[in-house]
Amino acid sequence: MRFDDTLTVDEMNDAEREAVVALWTRCGLTRPWNDPVADVALAEATENAAVLVARRDGRIVGAAMTGHDGHRGALYYLGVDPDQRRGGVGRALVEAAEGWCRARGAPKLNLLVRAENQAVLAFYAALGYLPTDSLSLYRTLDPDRAEQERAQKAAWAAAIRR
């Protein structure tokens, strides 16, 4: 999908996996309890998900993961290289994800933003996204992984407080 003379968004190709994970890491989107390499592999293994890559003059400048569960579309790992922000790349990636989900019959796109992340909330508000009245709940399905995740989250929270 072409957005202007220099900016395109398309599905990731095999050679771009590492660069995309490195970009998400630079954007601060990864956490010790989420493995982006495994997340990309899972997205590639199903028809219901895709990793979208924004390229300016052929160079990777942003990426996001989208998918649908047969009911709603979802957006994860939206990140734009710090030196490429405020140039429409984030908007292009969201529009490409919307198009991907719309083409598969998903009528809505859901995403999560931390309540304290005012800059990203302003970005999504500019794109027409509305807050919900719901809280997002989750459960880690593997008990060993749940225990490991509890410890990783506690260590992360302690490191941020320091």
Ligand X SMILES: CC(C)(COP(=O)(O)OP(=O)(O)OC[C@H]1O[C@@H](n2cnc3c(N)ncnc32)[C@H](O)[C@@H]1OP(=O)(O)O)[C@@H](O)C(=O)NCCC(=O)NCCS
In the numeric block, which tokens belong to residue 4?
């202007």
Structure letter (DSSP) for residue 136: P
Say how many residues make up the chain: 162
In the numeric block, which tokens belong to residue 47?
């028809």
Residues from 32 through 91 that contact ligand X (CB under 6 A): 78-80, 85-91
Q: What are phi and psi of 51, to 5 degrees?
A: -100, 125
Q: Choose the stretch contacting ligand X; rule: CB under 6 A; options: 5-13, 40-48, 118-126, 148-156.
A: 118-126
Beta strands 73-80; 109-110: pairing state: parallel
> C-beta of 54: minimal distance to ligand X in Å?
8
**C-alpha atoms less than 13 angstroms from C-alpha of 84 in its C-beta half-sphere:** 23
Position among 7, 9, 29, 43 found at the interface with ligand X (CB under 6 A): 29
Asked whether position 110 contacts ligand X by CB under 6 A, the answer is no
Helix (H) or strand (E) holding 65: strand 59-68
> C-beta of 143: minimal distance to ligand X in Å?
28
Which candidate, 90, 92, 82, places its Cα nearest to that of 113? 90
Position among 50, 100, 101, 123 found at the interface with ligand X (CB under 6 A): 123
* Nearer CB in complex with ligand X: 19/27: 27
Asked whether position 22 contacts ligand X by CB under 6 A, the answer is no
Residue sitting closest to ligand X (CB): 90
Residues near ligand X (CB under 6 A) are 27, 29, 78-80, 85-91, 113, 119-120, 122-123, 126
